[in-house]
A and B are shown apart, each in its own frame.
Chain A
Amino acid sequence: MSLLSGVGERLREGLRRSQEFLAAGLGAVLASERPIDDALWEELEELLIAADLGAALAADFANRAREEVMFGTVTRAAELRPLFRRFLLDALAPAAQPLDLDHRPAVVLMLGVNGSGKTTTCAKLAAQLRAGGKSVLLAAADTFRAAAIEQLQRWGERIGVEVVHQAAGSDPAAVVFDAVKAAAARSLDVLIVDTAGRLHTKSNLMDELAKLRRVIARQLPGAPHEALMVLDATTGQNGFAQARVFHEAIALTGVCLTKLDGTARGGIVVRIVRELTLPIKLIGVGERLEDLQAFDPAAFVDALVPAG
């Protein structure tokens, strides 16, 4: 199964464990005979917060649900479940957008905080695109972290993709410059740039990122075609701050949500999608190369809040 062929089982499997928690909780909270009272609202709010949806979003949903109860359209606790699914689906539906790789070369800039999974995601994406018959080049622009270049090189060897690199500690802009030049000269399909992890609060590192973007754009007008923020699904409310600041600094084209195979619910993306209107371009649901997939809102909501 590839990135282009949709999702289905793997996502559900990956999200099964988080689903269990939320499903078990929702099952108890939204038992059909339960009266809709203050205790129920409170428990529901806590469940949503436990899914990292955030207190504001939880309150927002509760308010909307309360209105329905007031108007009499919802009378039983069990009816809140489809209402919640609808609410999530409405929020997430616009977020499903494919990668824009319709350029030659298409340049994908991968960025994010430390440890979010950038290098692995670069490798998985490269492997899938290659399997789909595309010519791919990787650029090791994380010249800061010890052995980050070697990490990408090992991946390159494993998946049969060439990696443009320089010595550790060199200027990442120079690496990117070379890589764009090489990709254009050889008229390759896709160039994927792995950048150093950086906390969004370090303004000098954000400037460096903006410079990388400028270097790419100067050489290849219109590029980078994708600037993806890699976000660890275990991230809490801080994930929103990350997305906002990265977006302000270099205009993201989307988010790549990784590590959905744990028990984390990735609920923070709902807030990112709603408030920043950023699409989710990729999700990672496991360690295998094919576990990087396109985002399917229906499957995501199904996994998060099963129809019951």
Chain B
Amino acid sequence: MLDNLSTRLQTIFDRLGGRGRLTEENVQEALREVRVALLEADVNFKVVRTFVERVLARAVGQDVLKSLTPAQQVVKVVHDELVELLGGSGHRLAPAPHPPTVIMLIGLQGSGKTTTAAKLARHYTTQGQHPILAAADTYRPAAQDQLQTLGAELGVPVVGAPGEAPLAICRRAREEAAARGLTPLILDTAGRLHIDEPMLEELRAIRREVAPHHVLLVVDAMTGQDAVNVAERFNRAVGIDAVVLTKLDGDARGGAALSVRSVTGRPIAFVGTGEKTDALEPFHPDRLASRILGMGDVLSLVERAQASVDQEQAEALVRKLREDAFTLEDFRAQLRQVRQMGPLDQLLGMLPFGRALRGAPQELTAESADLDRFDAIIASMTPGERRHPDTINGSRRQRIARGSGTSVQDVNRLLKQHAQLRKMMKQLKGMEGKLPRMKGLPGFPTPRG
């Protein structure tokens, strides 16, 4: 996620940091590159213009250039402005004083409304609430079936039958939610163009009659310059309160995220980071800004660890990450835990400098199939071998490969990755000294800024 943008910005700032003193021209030159990097990340061109002007004014206006570490200061200004651009401190959907809280999802075709509706239902279920879904997309064939299926998987009731009008479905769902004491009520509406007047009128009618507390615009993170157009028109025609950004698990550079909030003034509430219903995260502008600038997003990493393993295990994970003594047994335990947290490369992207590390050991972006294989390989080792991988010679490798139904190459690859991981841990440890420490998790690196 956001790889290209952050890599490019890091390169630019690294170069800037290479100079001892900075002139206004240096900063301007760097910002010209920042401009192109943002444009290629699909940030709206008007937003880019304003952004660059603001950074420039602050960077050359203050005592930034005269400070001892001008490059870091410039990065800090960019970071602050990014946070500002992305919406300050984040946005939570406030529960309604009289339940049910009604959340309405709107957006273009294919932006991910139905999937998001199910993800939201799951999000609130895990928070101990009892949501209810309304399948009000009566246009796309089988859209209601899709939500019914997802609802059944989650154990969340779904209102809406074929032949019923969207408004009627929403009304009935609201009555049912009130009667059964279910909240929040999540309305899934049909995808439509932001210029399709009759279809927009349908949304306005639902908004008028059902009075949702939060209207969320669902936007595909891969959207280009048009994202701003879409958001503006939906905002004008129906009114939106916040944005859900979907499909952020690809390599979309998320320029839409940077633009939509800036143009509509509406914050991003959630981001979708995968196809399964658990892949929805509250949006943290400060964390994303840190991530874009390569400062890492340790808070999200720790949260994920907490969500998928218990506190004790999470602490153990942090400890293991810092320790150099790291046996294959630990490796396997980590693989199992890490797998519950999400794809490895996503996790590495959250670590400060994780991106740089990620570039080197290509094999580390292992997929689940690899992890399964590794699990089998380690299971075929003797306890002694797991503790002392150095003792695994050629004939042992052959035995292990036979025992695990893999090849010697696979065994070699595992051993190599384990060695690489140990090396990386050492590097991480080396960097810790240069960074301030985070409260609560002593010694764990934390983003600057």
Q: Which residues on A are within 8 Å of B, measured CB to CB? A: 17, 46, 49-52, 54-56, 113-117, 144-148, 150-151, 153-155, 158, 168, 199-204, 232, 234-239, 241-242, 259, 261-265, 267-268
Q: Given A204-B369, A238-B253, decide whether A264 and B224 contact each other with a Cβ distance below 8 A.
A: yes
Considering residues B142, B145, B193, which has the most beta carbons from chain A within 10 angstroms of its beta carbon? B142
Q: What is the total of A-B residue contacts with beta carbons within 8 Å? A: 146
Query: Complex: how many Å from CA A154 to CA B145?
Result: 11
Q: Beyond the given A236-B223, A237-B42, please list 12 additional residue pairs across the A-B interface where CB-CB is below 8 A.
A: A49-B39, A115-B109, A115-B112, A117-B110, A155-B141, A200-B250, A201-B250, A201-B251, A234-B226, A236-B255, A238-B222, A239-B222
Are A113's CB and B225's CB within 8 A?
no
Asked whether B367 is an interface residue with its Cβ less than 8 Å from the other chain, the reply is yes
Pull 17 A–B residue pairs with CB atoms less than 8 Å apart, ordered by A: A55-B40, A113-B247, A115-B220, A116-B110, A145-B275, A147-B142, A147-B146, A150-B146, A151-B141, A151-B145, A199-B250, A234-B108, A236-B222, A236-B226, A236-B252, A263-B233, A265-B225
B247 touches A146 (CB 8 A): no
| B348, CB-defined interface residue at 8 Å | no
In the complex formed, the residue of A with least CB distance to B218 is A115
- The complex places the Cα of A242 from the Cα of B220 at a distance, in Å, of 14
Partner of B110, one of A56, A114, A146, A158: A114
Residues on A with beta carbons closer than 8 Å to the beta carbon of B226 = 52, 234, 236, 262-265
A126 to chain B minimum Cβ distance, whole angstroms, is 13
Q: Is B227 an interface residue (CB 8 A)?
A: yes
Assuming the A-B contacts A113-B250, A263-B226, A264-B226, are A55 and B36 also in contact, with contact meaning beta carbons closer than 8 angstroms in the complex? Answer: yes
Q: A262 CA to B107 CA in the complex, in Å? A: 12
B150 and A237 form a contact (CB under 8 A): no
Closest-CB distance, A254 to chain B (whole angstroms): 20
Q: Which of A115, A148, A238 is close to B252, meaning CB atoms less than 8 Å apart?
A: A238
B149 in contact with A262 (CB, 8 Å): no
Cβ–Cβ contact B230 & A234, under 8 A: yes
Q: B111 within 8 Å of A by Cβ?
A: yes
A235 touches B224 (CB 8 A): yes
- B141 and A114 form a contact (CB under 8 A): no
Classify the interface of chain A: helix, strand, loop or mixed. loop
Closest CB-CB distance, B246 to chain A, in whole Å? 8
Residue in B39, B143, B195 whose beta carbon sits within 8 Å of that of A55 in the complex: B39
Q: List residues of B whose CB falls within 8 A of some A CB.
A: 36, 39-42, 44-45, 49, 108-112, 140-143, 145-150, 153, 193-195, 220-227, 229-230, 233, 247, 249-253, 255-256, 275, 367-369
Q: Is the CB of B224 within 8 A of A236?
A: yes
Q: Which residues of A contact B36 (CB under 8 A)?
A: 55
Shortest distance between the CB of B224 and any CB in chain A (Å): 2
Please indicate which of the listed interface residues B40, B147, B226 has the most CB atoms of chain A within 10 Å of its own CB: B226
Residues of chain A lying within 8 A (CB to CB) of residue B223: 234-236
Chain A, Cβ-Cβ closest to B224 = A236
Write out the residue numbers on chain B whose beta carbons fall within 8 Å of the beta carbon of A154.
141-142
Task: Let me know if B367 and A232 touch, CB within 8 A.
Answer: no
Selected contact of A262 from candidates B49, B195, B247, B367, CB within 8 Å? B195
Residue of A nearest to B111 (CB): A115
B311 CB to closest chain A CB, in angstroms? 31
Min CB distance A156 to B, Å, is 10
Per the bound structure, the CA–CA distance linking A234 and B49 in Å amounts to 22
* A residues near B110, Cβ cutoff 8 Å: 114-117, 232, 259
**Are the CB atoms of A117 and B109 closer together than 8 Å?**
yes
Q: A150's contact among B45, B145, B225, B368, by CB below 8 Å, is which? A: B145
Q: Are A50 and B225 in contact (CB under 8 A)?
A: yes
Chain A residues within 8 Å of B44, by CB: 50
Task: State how many angstroms separate the Cβ of B271 from the closest Cβ of chain A.
Answer: 14
Which residue of A49, A56, A259 is within 8 Å of B225 (Cβ)?
A49
- Note all chain B residues with C-beta closer than 8 A to A262: 108, 193-195, 226, 230
Find out whether the CB atom of A236 lies under 8 angstroms from the CB atom of B146: no
Minimum CB–CB distance for A181 against chain B, Å? 26
Interface centre among A145, A259, A262 (most CB of B within 10 A): A262
Q: Is the CB of B141 within 8 A of A237?
A: no
Once bound together, how far apart are the Cα atoms of A151 and B109, in whole Å? 14
Assembled-state Cα–Cα distance A56/B36 (Å)? 9
CB nearest to A168 among chain B residues:
B149
Q: Which residues of B contact A54 (CB under 8 A)?
A: 40
Chain B residues closer than 8 Å to A238, beta-carbon distance: 42, 221-222, 224, 250-253
Highest count of chain A CB atoms <10 Å: which of B112, B150, B193, B369: B193
| Contact with B45, one of A50, A199, A264 (Cβ below 8 angstroms) | A50
Q: Give bound CA distance, A18 to B202, whole Å.
A: 24
Q: Is the CB of A146 within 8 A of B150?
A: yes
The winner among A50, A146, A200 for most chain B CB atoms within 10 A is: A146
CA distance A200 to B251 in the complex (A): 8
A237 engages B253 (CB within 8 Å): yes
Which residues does chain A contribute within 8 Å of B251, judged by CB atoms?
200-201, 238, 241
What is the minimal beta-carbon distance from A232 to any residue of chain B, in angstroms? 6
Q: Which residue of A lies closest to B221 (CB)?
A: A238
Q: How far is the CA of A268 from the CA of B140 in the complex (A)?
A: 27
Instruction: Pick the residue among B41, B109, B222, B255 that contacts A113 (CB under 8 A).
Output: B222
Chain B residues within an 8 Å CB radius of A50: 44-45, 225
